[in-house]
Amino acid sequence: LELEDWLIELLALESADLAHICRHFGIDRDDLASELQSAVGRFATGSGRVPGLAPATVRVAKGALLLTELDAGGGRVRSGTLLAAALQDERAAPQLRDSAPSLRRIDPETLRDNLNDIAAQSLEADTPEAGASHPPDGVLSPVDDALGRFTVDLTALAEAGRSVLVIDLDPQ
C-alpha cells in the first residue's frame, strides 16, 4: 500500500479532513484524485510477493501518530494529520508532490498548526459542531469503515485471547 493509494481512499470520504483541506487550500478533489490515480498507474506491477505496506507508508503513519501525541495529546489519528506527516516527511514529501502537483499548494506547517480550524466541520473532528463524530454503537463512520478495510485491530484480538504476532518493519 503506497501513500498515493491511501490518499485516494481518504479523498473518497466526502466529509473527512481531506475534503476540508482541499477546499481550504483551493485544490479540486477530483483533480487531486486523478493525479494520484495517474501516479498509481505508473507504479511497477507484477510482483509475486504478498501485498504489504510500503516503507514510506509505515514511516508516515508513525509520524502521524507522533504528531497526534504531540499536538493533540493522543486520540485518533486523523487523515489530515496523516497528510501533514506525509508532507513533512523529507523522503515522502518530494515523491508525493511529484505524484500529485496539486499538493504543492499545501504548506505543511500551516496544515499542522491549523488543522483543527481548517477541518473543524470534518467528521473526524472532536467538536460538537462537527456533528456525530462518534457514531452510535454498532454504526461505523466512513473513516472507521476505511480503517477497518485496511487494518487489523490487534488490541481486540489480544483481548479476545487470540494470539497476535507483531512484526516490526523498522530495522532499528
DSSP conformation class of 130 = G
Helix, strand, coil abundance in the chain, percent, nearest 5: 60, 0, 40
Q: What is the pLDDT of residues 34-68, one digit of tens each?
A: 999 999 888 766 666 666 778 898 999 999 998 88
CA atoms within 13 A on the CB side of 45: 4
Residues 6+ apart with CB under 8 A from 14: 142
How far apart CA 35 and CA 103 sit, in angstroms, is 10
Low-confidence ranges of the chain (pLDDT < 50): 127-142
Within 10 Å of residue 119's Cβ, how many Cβ atoms? 26
Q: What is the pTM of this model?
A: 0.68
The pLDDT value recorded for residue 41 is 83
The pLDDT value recorded for residue 68 is 87
The pLDDT value recorded for residue 134 is 45
The pLDDT value recorded for residue 139 is 41
Nearest to 82 by CA among 102, 96, 101, 99: 96
How far from 127 is each of 123, 130, 159, CA to CA, in Å? 9, 6, 30
* Phi, psi dihedral angles at 66 (to 5 degrees): -65, -45
